[in-house]
Amino acid sequence: MQLERMHLVLKRSASQDASLRQLIGDLHTAGTASYHKWLTPDQFGRQFGPSDEDIATIQAWLSGHGFNVAKVNPGGRPSSFQATWGSCARPFTPRFTSTR
C-alpha cells in the first residue's frame, strides 16, 4: 500500500534556536539593524536549517530505505516523502492502526 505522504520535521540546534529568537525580536524592534528586514525562504533555510551536507545525508538515507523525497522546500529543506507501508516498517518499526 502506497502512503500518500509523510512529513519530516527537523529540530534546530540550541544555538540556531537562540539566534532565531534574537532575529524575531530584532525584526520587530525599531532601531535594530534587522528591523523589518524579512528573510526569504531560502535565506531562512540557510541560516536556521540543516547544512547542505546534512540534507544530502537525510536524502540518501531516505532513498536507501525505499523512500521517495517528494518535496524539497525553498532553502533545500526536504519536507515530505512517499513510501509504502513496508518501507516504513523496516527503519521505524511503527505500529500502524486504522482510524476508519
If you average pLDDT over residues 85-96, what whole number do you get?
62
Place of cell 524579512: 38
Neighbours of 32 (CB within 10 A): 14
Paired sense of beta strands 6-7 and 68-73, if any: unpaired
Place of cell 525599531: 30
Average pLDDT over the chain, rounded to an integer = 80
pLDDT at 63: 85
Tell whether the model's pLDDT for residue 47 goes beyond 70: yes
Greater confidence, 3 or 15? 15
d(CA 9, CA 52): 16
